Amino acid sequence: MDQKTLREHEAKCIQENPPGCTAGCPVHVDARALAAAARKGDWAAGLAAFRKTVPFPEIIGRICDQPCRQSCKRGEVGDPIMINALEKACLVNGGAPLPRSAPLPPKAARVAVVGAGLSGLTAALELARKGYLVVVFEAADRSGGGILAIPESKLPRKAIDDDLAVFGQLPVEFRYGAAVGESLSLAALADEFAAVYLATGPGDDASSAAGLGRDAAGSIAIDPATLATSHPKIFAGGSLRRGRGDRSPIAAVADGKAAAISIDRLLQGASLTAGREKEGPHATALYTNIAGALQLPAVPAADEAGGYSKDEAVQEAGRCLQCECRECVKACEYLAHYGSYPRRYVREVYNNLSIVMGIHHANKMIDTCSLCGQCAQLCPNGLDMGEICREARRMMVERGKMPPSVHDFALRDMKFSAGDPFALSRHQPGHETSKWVFYPGCQQAASSPHAIRKAYEFLCTKLDGGVGLMLGCCGAPANWAGQERLFRETVQETEKNWRALGSPTIITACPTCFSMFHHNLPAAPIEPLWTLLDRIGLPARTGAGIKARPLAVHDSCTTRHETALHHSVRSLLGKLGHEIAELPHNRETTVCCGYGGLMIFADREVARKVAARRTGESAADYLTYCAMCRDNFVRQGKRTFYLLDLLFAADAGITGLETIDYSQRRENRSRLKRELLRDLWGENMAEPQAGIKVIIPDDIRQLMEERMILAADVATVVAHAESTGDKLQDTAGGHYLASHRPASVTYWVEYSPAGDGFLIHNAYSHRIEILY
């Protein structure tokens, strides 16, 4: 991932864009933070948020005309927030403000400000804080300009004096009674000072004296972004720019700030225009979902003149929607787990990939993503963290930076499924060609081998032209693990076997297999089993033993875009007599069950949270059409039925609570292949050689399941220890402790002899390689 790609991904996440109120405010007051503080009664924090961008808080807090309310999202579901009333409440209750930071070291340049109204005073204050020597020329005998005409009841003179007292600490000189005209021309000021800011109001005598250029209407030509005029050293703003009728106090302050930035850039020799697109009021790109928000009116103040009481302010602040996007984070337990949002995660991924030496802190975050794509569906701009994490994994593998133990178990399981114990490719018995081929998938065969066999036999009776059978793994674990070469090799092997059968239409029972083939075998016609069954009909006596009930459908994340599949699943349930209950996120916005992307192997805690959240969304029993989704939900104690079982194994007494451990899953695959070869093709496959006998109590078996240790792994360790003598003995208890590292993981087993076998007392694993 290069810098350009990083920026493109970052730009899609809009979480860091300001809320509408802040973007619509000429000086970008963080009204969201102010309201959040007021909601908690933290007036000091609210005042701090206000003072951060407002140079004269005592004044503006009482007279602001609140243009921000026009952009308030709450206005779409009730009245906009009374932001100025909350600002005033923070002023009244916020206590003594913290001292402002000291100005920067003095600079040699001197700047003239003409006019001591809000705009001129703001420019003078901002420039003085940057270290410039400022001289303010004011025709009247005091500062304030138009705000001096505001009634005392609304704007006490003490508030003005308190705010303007700051100039006593800054290098600012005030010259009152100094009207710019014939005796004091702008041209002379421009000669004497490094720059001039003209903020005299809508009169034009001063500008005429300086010979400033005019626009078509006869007003001074002022650049709206920089406030520059035709004179290279003179800037102009305030009501002089906006017109006599515009008396917006906050807009005047914004002009003063903009002028100070332009003058500073001019004197620094920098561009006046670069990076100023979001200066002043603008539309925000932030998306805020207001679905479900109640219509709420503004809280009235009992004392309209005095403003809100503390309780009233807290109530009004409570109406604030605290606008943010986080649509993906709200729906995804994985994104929520790491406490931030995709824009920051993208940076972390980039930094993680850029590390040459040192600790790769983001490895676990990268490896835990389910790669399901829900975030792209929910994001207004389609940002896909799964796409980013998948590419990061591929790069980590390519550079040798992927910890091998993270996906070791899943990749070994894939190797098993793609190898002799399970892999198979045959035409239908009695046929030499295949118009169709059934590809059930390795996980479906591991969970429901009986139903897989019944489904295949049913297809053979219903479809003409021959229905072949292919057993194997589609390569999803390698794809998810970033093992691109291994994935391509697996797909190529599948394609070779498919072509050897005559390139038939592939019928997939597994949603992930469908997705993998759909995207990586473009030449192959593919159809999900469910759409096919919906079209050709169901087997006889379907649903026997399963009482009709409401079933909450969990759609598989790997086929979120397959609308025909979604329809057929629901159609099949309807034909079985079941009522359909829809979950909050379904179809194209469905969530992962916690297995996808190998999440369950990278971070079991997050995978459990994902599954627990999903299974808690409905009191109804669940229905999945992916075996791994079913198994994950059952581990959470949720009664979940697998659609294939409802169709082809309903008479087997299924309860929706059956659990199958990893060792059983492997055995189920091997047994299915042996039985199919024997019963359908009349071929005998050698039975597995009986190895060392291990006795595993139920509690230890459960522990091994949690630690992803197979019975075969334990047997291998014991066999190795017994054949080599590499073991330790606890002489007090008589137990042996042995280890073995067949691949990337070291397994430890505590055991003791028991009759003709060995009793297992404990088992664990780690990735540390022990050197003797």
Mean pLDDT of 508-513: 97
Residue 283, exposed/middle/buried by CB under 10 A (0-12, 13-18, 19+)? Answer: exposed
Residue 736 has pLDDT above 80, yes or no: yes
Which amino acid is located at 222 in the chain?
A: I
- For 155-212, what is each residue's pLDDT tens digit? 999 999 999 999 998 999 999 999 887 678 888 999 999 999 999 876 644 444 457 8
CA separation, residue 19 to residues 24, 289, 649 (Å): 9, 12, 54
Reported as a single tens digit per residue, the pLDDT across 536-566 is 999 886 445 678 899 999 999 999 999 999 9
pLDDT at 472: 96
Structure tokens at 269: 């020799």
Per-residue pLDDT of 751-771, as tens digits, reads: 999 999 999 999 998 866 666
Q: How confident is the model at residue 690 (pLDDT cuts 50, 70, 90)?
A: low
pLDDT band at 273 (very low <50, low <70, confident <90, very high): very high
Looking at residue 701, the DSSP 8-state letter turns out to be H
Alpha carbons within 13 angstroms on the beta-carbon side of residue 408 total 19
Taking only the tens place, the pLDDT of each residue in 44-56 is 999 999 999 999 9
Q: Using pLDDT thresholds of 50, 70 and 90, give the confidence band for residue 66.
A: very high
Q: Is 724 within 8 Å of 716 (Cβ atoms)?
A: no
Instruction: Give the model's pLDDT for residue 649.
Output: 81
Residues found in the chain:
772
Residue 682 has pLDDT above 50, yes or no: yes
What average pLDDT does the chain have? 92
Binning pLDDT at 50, 70 and 90, where does residue 247 land? confident
pLDDT at res. 362: 82
DSSP-derived 3-state class of residue 173: strand
3-state SS class at 528 = strand
- Quick check: 506 and 527 in contact, CB under 8 A? yes
Q: Give the pLDDT of residue 346.
A: 93
% of the chain residues with pLDDT over 90:
79
Phi, psi of 249 (to 5 degrees): -60, -45
| DSSP letters for 464-503 | SS-EEEEES--SHHHHHTT-HHHHHHHHHHHHHHHHHTTS
Range 235-252 average pLDDT: 83
Report pLDDT digits (tens) over 102-140. 778 999 999 999 999 999 999 999 999 999 999 999 999
Q: Model confidence at 355, in pLDDT bands (50, 70, 90)?
A: confident
pLDDT of 244 above 60: no
pLDDT-based confidence at residue 442 (cuts at 50, 70, 90): very high
pTM above 0.95, yes or no: no
The dihedral formed by the CA atoms of 172, 178, 183 and 184, expressed in degrees to the nearest 10:
30
Identify the pLDDT of residue 507: 98
